[in-house]
């Protein structure tokens, strides 16, 4: 009887201990370089039309990011081959988050919302600026 109780107790206790390597979402979960593919369109204004591009973004795990991107509008190459940007982000405990990207060339800042997937190896983004329909998928680059 005592052995049975001890086994039940140990089994229950083991089930309440987090497994090693368990993934927790926070700013620290989004860290490193991510390669992005960008697609969508701008719905109004002087740059209205299709958008396609790529970006390399570094997330520092503390809520700051730096990136370079090459984004084409209506099939027209950008004035600068690799446009630099900086910004901030916040990852929520449910692996959703938001952020802002600011550009050195004076382009409008981007307000982004995202979801982390595949244990933080992927990030799915939507730009929430009014008049845009732009999404992006980023994959962690080692």
Pick the CATH number of 23-141 from 2.60.120.330, 3.50.30.50, 2.40.128.120, 2.40.50.140: 2.40.128.120
Give the start-to-end residue ranges of the domains of the chain: 23-141
> How far is Cα 107 from Cα 102, in angstroms, rounded to an integer?
8
CB-based contacts of 134: which residues, under 8 Å, 6+ apart? 38, 39, 40, 41, 42, 51, 126, 127
> How far is Cα 123 from Cα 33, in angstroms, rounded to an integer?
11
Q: Please list the ranges in the chain whose pLDDT falls under 50.
A: 1-18
Output the CA angle 46-50-37, nearest 5 degrees. 125
pLDDT at 23: 81
Alpha helices in 61-137 (DSSP H): none
pLDDT at 142: 74
> How far is Cα 90 from Cα 28, in angstroms, rounded to an integer?
10
pLDDT at 45: 86
């Amino acid at each position: 009887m005592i052995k049975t109780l001890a086994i039940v107790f140990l089994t229950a206790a083991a089930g309440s201990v987090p497994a090693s390597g368990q993934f927790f979402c926070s700013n620290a979960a989004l860290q490193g370089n991510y390669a992005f593919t960008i697609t969508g369109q701008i719905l109004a204004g002087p740059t209205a039309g299709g958008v396609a591009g790529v970006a390399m973004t570094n997330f520092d795990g503390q809520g700051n990011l730096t990136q370079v991107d090459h984004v084409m509008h209506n099939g027209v190459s950008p004035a600068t081959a690799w446009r630099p940007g900086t910004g901030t982000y916040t990852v929520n405990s449910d692996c959703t988050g938001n952020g802002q990207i600011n550009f050195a060339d004076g382009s409008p800042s981007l307000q982004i919302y995202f979801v982390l997937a595949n244990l933080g190896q992927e990030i799915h983004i939507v730009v929430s600026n009014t008049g845009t329909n732009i999404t992006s998928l980023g994959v962690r680059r080692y």
